[in-house]
Amino acid sequence: MYKPPVHRGMKELDRAAFSLTIPVVALRVPTKTVGRIKAEISSDILKVPKLRNVVNDSKSNEFKILLLDSAISSTDLTGASEKLHNLVKQDKLEAVNHQVILDYEHWSADEILKAVLPDSNEAPTSYEQIGHIAHMNLRDQYLEYKTLIGQVILDKSPTVATVVNKLDTIDNTFRNFKMEVLAGKDDFMAQVRENDCVFKFDYSKVYWNSRLHSEHERLIKKFSIGSSVCDVMAGVGPFAVPAAKRGCLVWANDLNPASYDAMQENIVLNKVQDRVCAFNMDGRDFIRKAFVEYFAKTKQGPLSIPPIPKASVSRSKPVAPEPPIEIPSRSFDHVVMNLPAIAIEFLDAFRGLFAGFEEKPNLPLIHTHCFTKSDEPEKDILQRACRAMGYPEEQYKDLDADVYYVRRVAPKKDMYCLSLRLPEAVAYASETGSKRKLDQESTESINQNKVRLSDNEDC
């Protein structure tokens, strides 16, 4: 109904400039009868979001001022319903003129920005929230207004303390990006709750996308208690930590030292240090060496992890100890590769993965996130996977695979998750050069890159 005053071109926020005084007609109503009268003439009452239509009478505590709809233009109640006219006569009510002041606090961020930016039909109010941080991605035409935009977002978002704008694309090795603070405090240490877990990290140094919470949850639900999970590009642990909390044995890796440090903290913070082993390695090296060491450990028998703690129902009756969770698989049950820009290329690391094994372990289900711009996304993704694995591209339909749509990330660019059972022909393919051996050198190499967070022998 009402809009704030227009100030096109404002670049420094002046909150006082958005005050609007509106003349309205009102009724002086005895305080004791306000509820009844409001109910009887509800169609004639002023209804404006975030504005009270009953206010105090400055002349007497025994009366209230009941604001009437803007269609009622004068104290003779022109434009009012017949019911209102009758009620005024019956109760001998007085119609008065009143002024309503709508100030800066009344307006939404969208309304304020549409009043100052060149295009009144658009306002850049969308952002991703990471803890107390609002992350914006402003288009070029809004950059000269960025300080004002940041301040408005900060003012209108109660849970936001820092507003930042991304300065470049995610194109470096560690998947983070440069950003500038538009408003609020210069504090990038975020805390996020997701999938019943708490994550802490420095948002300026690691990758986190709150829009992927549904995808995190979807994939985690595929992991059963007692599953073994290999998370190759684990970040700060959005897959690894909840999977461990669910009762899985997880080996989680990330190349970024800051992500690795945050993941270690989150493992301890969520009390899953007996179920997660953290690594800081190149992804391909991690895949090749992790499978070798995992298989070697299973030679001594099934691995196990501590049970999921159960809260005591009664203080006088402590919960009986649960047996350890057995991990029956000789290989990882699931592999997660959440690096959409290039993860599919890492499938080459699985070629010949089991060629040196004297026994046949289970073939893992590999969950690979990727982007595509193709009009035939499933065909495109499967054929790219074939090329990476050295599998006959024309046989892509023979793969035991599922291609799941995750989200649109840009015009004509979508994110998918390829869940692929590692083909036996790829796992046991002959390798060029010397045959890979399951030897002490491989085991020692991965142990040098691993930080053990507990005395769990299965990590």
pLDDT (tens digit per residue) in 108-160: 999 999 999 998 888 999 999 999 999 999 999 999 999 999 999 999 999 99
pLDDT in the model for residue 454: 37
Residue 454: burial class (beta carbons within 10 Å; 0-12, 13-18, 19+) = middle
Q: Tell me the torsion sign for CA atoms 36, 42, 48, 49.
A: positive
Biggest CA–CA distance in the chain, Å, is 103
Query: Are 138 and 169 in contact, with CB atoms under 8 Å apart?
Result: no
User: Does the structure show a pLDDT above 50 at 441?
Assistant: no
pLDDT at site 455: 41
Give the model's confidence band at 321: pLDDT under 50 very low, under 70 low, under 90 confident, else very high.
Answer: confident
pLDDT at 432 exceeding the cut of 50? no
Per-residue pLDDT at 245: 96
Instruction: With H, G, I as helix, E, B as strand and everything else as coil, classify residue 104.
Output: helix
Q: What stretches of 234-282 show up as alpha helix (H) in DSSP?
A: 240-246, 257-269
pLDDT confidence of residue 300: 87
Of 202-216, 311-325, 414-428, the poorest mean pLDDT is in 311-325
- Structure token pair of residue 344: 């599919």
Q: For 230-267, what is each residue's pLDDT tens digit?
A: 999 999 999 999 999 999 999 999 999 999 999 999 99
Q: Which has the closest alpha carbon to 241: 268, 205, 279? A: 268
* Other CB atoms within 10 A of residue 358 CB: 7
- pLDDT at 169 > cutoff 80: no
Tell me how far apart the alpha carbons of residues 407 and 152 are, in angstroms, rounded to a whole number: 29
| Segment 36-95, tens digit of pLDDT | 999 999 999 999 988 999 999 999 999 999 999 999 989 999 999 999 999 999 999 999
pTM for the predicted model, two decimal places: 0.84
Q: Is the pLDDT of residue 162 over 70?
A: yes
> What is the mean pLDDT of the segment spanning 165-172?
69
pLDDT band at 440 (very low <50, low <70, confident <90, very high): very low
| Mean predicted lDDT score pLDDT of the chain | 90
**b/e code 238-254 from CB counts within 10 Å (16+ = b):** bbbbbbbbbbbbbbbbb
CA distance 218 to 215: 5
Q: 321 — phi, psi (to 5°)?
A: -60, 140
DSSP letter, residue 348: G
Q: Distance between terminal CA atoms of the chain? A: 63
pLDDT of residue 68: 95
pLDDT per position as a tens digit, 187-197: 999 999 999 99
In 3D, which of 27, 12, 17 has the Cα closest to residue 72? Answer: 27
- Dist. CA 453–CA 397, nearest whole Å: 43
At 322 the pLDDT is 86
